[in-house]
A and B are shown apart, each in its own frame.
Chain A
Amino acid sequence: MVIGQAMKRKEDPRFIRGRGRYLDDIVLPNMLYLALVHSPYPHARIKSIDKSKAMALSGVKAVITGEDLDAAKLEWLPTFHGFDKQMVLALGKALYQYQEVAGVVATTREVAHDGAELVEVEYEPLDPVVSPFQSKEDKIILRDDRETKTNHIYHWEVGDKEKTASALERSAVRIQERILSPRCHPAPLEPCGMVADMNKATGRLTVYMTSQAPHVHRTAFSLVTGIPEDKIHVISPDVGGGFGNKVPVYPGYVVAAVASVIIGVPVKWVETRTENLTTTGFARDYHMDVEIGATKEGKVTALKVSTTADHGAFDAAADPRKYPAGMFGIVTGSYDFPTAFAEVDAYFTNKAPGGIAYRCSFRVTEASFAIERGMDILARKLAIDPAELRRRNFVRKEQFPYPSPLGFVYDSGDYETTMRKALDKIGYDALRKEQADKRAKGELMGIGVSSFTEIVGAGPGKHFDILGIKMFDSAEIRIHPTGSGIVRAGTRHQGQGHETTWAQIVAEELGLDPQELLVEEGDTDTAPYGLGTYASRSTPVAGGALALAARKIREKAQKIAAHLLEASEADVEWKDYKFSVKGVPGKSVTMKDVAFAAYTNPPPDTEPGLEATYYYDPPNLTFPNGTYIAVVDVDSETGAVKVRRFLAVDDCGVVINPMIVEGQVHGGLTEGFAMAFMQEIQYDNDGNHLNTNFTDYLVPTALETPHWETDSTVTPSPHHPIGAKGVGESPNVGSPQAFVNAVMDALAPLGITHIDMPLTREKIWRAIRDAKAQQ
């Protein structure tokens, strides 16, 4: 078995030796550098832009403004959501602080930035809109370019509104809470960047870019610029973290490409940290009004969630067209609600655009946070243990495939077994006893449970698209004569370990050595067309394509094996990683034997070679799930939280490489921990962005990060070729509420029900102080 082995990552030797090749490592002859000018105002009319001083600076080659792009009909770019467009450079108005207003191209990075300082922009400041609730009033209309003079972007709803309202009305017990999933940012350590290289001799534009979806970016560039797609070559080199941030097209990409096309030499643009945090895709910013009804015995009767979403200045949420609020319909979570209703209203504000899937499959983190906080609040109201309340309401194992009241069909799961494993492993009963003892002494200890269900693996193409392109994915496998091979996929890893796991999938299917299978992604000239890596879709979609491409090879190999074994093809079977003649145990050939024969001795009626391509459009999504438990101690004097233990039990279906899964879970838990306790992109009432660098937007280090305990259960996905479900986003989706539930559990004796993330010491200290004052 190759699948299931903790094989060391094939990509790591080059990374740990500093031999990775990232975007900023690329230096081309005659390359120029691009720096961008940003608006200091969140909302302002642009009265004039004076380029003259910048152009006079030695080394500056060009200054590009929105008007220049307008003249070239390149002033707008489509957002991946498909319903809106985004200014490349501010034209007429700046709509958020740090919006790109002009670009300066120069011989060095330093001169470009100095030149950007010399671009004089005259603004007429306008009153900003800094919250979706203010936006809702439509007193200030932000988007002059839209025919509809409202800040309201869309209303989306799913479920049975009347039935849910009626069920809530009739419920013996009801809870209501406004729960904020605050604006946060993926903050990959490598910011976004591009080297655009227009070769005027060939008419071909080569772009090296930090891309999680290079094929989609190629298509988008072709649509924006009008350059035929065959004349665009996108290469995504090693990517230093993406987490959804490197899915959208950003103005810097377009301006760098335009500059290279105009000037005819390579142009490099690499963001600063501030540019990354202030202008590229944020995540979340969902204000969710959660209502749950239940019986007195703790059986849920109905769920209603009404959300007000802050989308910033443009609707750049990278959600499929059919699902403007992404997969928020997973908000019923792991629970068997008889009825449910969810609605989302999205609004423009004077903030950076985004709403990307930051390590979550399109709004799943928000949905999961809402239901898991809601269930905890309900448990407290019912005076039922939160784990027990969850257990009473789980979708039962025998209910799968489970049609949820909000329209998804869950593929598989055994929530109760997963929870039981988690409770036993962490010693839940003993912890509750310890908590009771501590409470008697006035100490604040909390235990937080999260039993989440994710939804990942977009496609299927009938429901999900980007820019209209169906969300399939692809794989191409070529086996060389000596039995090694090259594996290419339409995905693009950014740390997920595809070079290892893809090799393991193919090796498992073909009985080859994964060390001899080279995995390549990220080059649109060589890889088959795919939709990229985000939203935990690589293994559910491209992983399926890889297995099925390998099986196509195996089909052909069987013919060749039969030829070699001098047997009928029907008498040859694939068993124990080799082809044997049924009933003749000693007569067999390996895939290596077959590979050599495919080039040297193919059967007469068979074309030489051994390769296959597969485009896989999955029949359904996959539904990873898990139970996470956090144990915390809260200092009542300072509000400081110590995460004493954290256990994650994940069911991600069949595990390809447990070491990589563990690494994925550790990383996601650390991000979830950061969201719960540290991270929020804040704007003041004047629209100033307050978290523009890593001193104000905190990334946890090893000092703050708790010790993670992990375990797993396995319920294979019945429709996935190898039964895998995906795991990259589960820890980010499942963990924030475990932390928050634990802290709220600790604060329960003080009557504190809910505090919005991030749970900073100050917020907790103030809540304790206020609660004590009321006692």
Chain B
Amino acid sequence: MNLSWNGTEEIQAGKDAVWTFINDPAKIATCLLDVQSTTIRDAHSFDAIVGVALGPVRGKFTFRIALIPASDGNHMDMKVSGGGLGSVVDLVAGADLISNGDASTTLNWKGTAEIRGPAATVGGRVLDTQARRVIATTFENVRKSLSGSPQAPANAPGDGS
């Protein structure tokens, strides 16, 4: 099953701060939803064990997450691969950073995921909804971490294409 999403997020922090944050595996790891444990592998990758509940598919998934920053400091790619319970997930996402001055940064992002196994077949009907929840929560956590204070909930990501 292939899914794709895109969206725009406004982060109340300067572009440099956002860039530094998203380049740090340890910080990104704290923003993921339902993380049970993380292992930092190197400066740009980490492993995460995540609790997953997709309809009747419930358990732990293990992911390897690689951060791939562009040299110009304006774009970040992320590759997520892993799975569990007989399922496989391969996700590729990318975000363009646009500075809105010192106070805020816009992230124009898009991602595509290939999901196979029970997560796709058993949980297929709830997958898109769940994925949107994960994305929204992750950005919300990024926002909170960078602003240091609670923010309004993140906007729902745009429609898949």
Contact = CB atoms under 8 A, between A and B. Distances in A.
A686 B2 contact: yes
Contacts of A684: 1, 120
A41 B86 contact: no
Contacts of A690: 121, 124
A717 interface: no
A691 B124 CA distance: 10
Contacts of B121: 97, 688-692, 696
A123 B120 CA distance: 17
A77 B55 CA distance: 36
* Secondary structure class of chain B's binding surface, majority of residues: mixed
Contacts of B25: none
B107 interface: no
Nearest to B2: A686
B49 to A, nearest CB: 13
Nearest to A684: B1
A686 B122 contact: no
A38 B86 contact: yes
Contacts of B87: 40
A97 B88 CA distance: 11
Contacts of A689: 121
A314 to B, nearest CB: 21
B37 to A, nearest CB: 16
A117 B60 CA distance: 10
Contacts of B117: 38, 40, 97, 688
B116 interface: yes
A42 B88 CA distance: 12
B84 A117 contact: yes
Contacts of B84: 117
B126 to A, nearest CB: 11
B56 interface: yes
A47 to B, nearest CB: 14
Contacts of B86: 37-38, 40, 117
A274 B1 contact: no
B118 A274 contact: yes
A252 to B, nearest CB: 15
A119 to B, nearest CB: 10
Contacts, number: 45
Interface in A677-697: 684, 686, 688-693, 696
Contacts of A274: 118, 122
B122 A41 contact: no
A316 B153 CA distance: 54
Contacts of B118: 274, 692
Contacts of A123: 88
Interface residues of B, number: 18
A498 to B, nearest CB: 37
B116 A97 contact: yes
Contacts of A696: 121-122
B94 interface: no
B114 interface: yes
Given A40-B83, A40-B86, A117-B85, A686 B56 contact: no
A41 B84 CA distance: 13
A686 B114 contact: yes
Contacts of B83: 40
Contacts of A693: 56, 122
B122 to A, nearest CB: 5
Contacts of B88: 40-41, 123
Contacts of A37: 86
A691 B83 CA distance: 20
A688 B85 contact: no
B66 to A, nearest CB: 17
A42 B122 CA distance: 16
Interface in A246-290: 274
Contacts of A40: 83, 86-88, 116-117
Contacts of A692: 118, 121-122
A284 B2 CA distance: 28
Interface in A45-89: none
A688 B120 contact: yes
A688 B122 contact: no
Contacts of A38: 86, 117
B56 A688 contact: no
A274 B117 CA distance: 11
B89 to A, nearest CB: 9
Contacts of A117: 59, 84-86
Contacts of A42: 116
B139 to A, nearest CB: 28
A656 B85 CA distance: 50
A328 B116 CA distance: 35
Interface of A: 37-38, 40-42, 97, 117, 123, 274, 684, 686, 688-693, 696
Given A38-B117, A117-B86, A688-B120, 7 more contacts: A40-B83, A40-B117, A97-B117, A117-B59, A117-B85, A684-B1, A692-B122
15 contacts: A37-B86, A38-B86, A41-B116, A42-B116, A97-B116, A117-B84, A123-B88, A274-B122, A684-B1, A686-B116, A688-B120, A688-B124, A690-B121, A690-B124, A692-B122
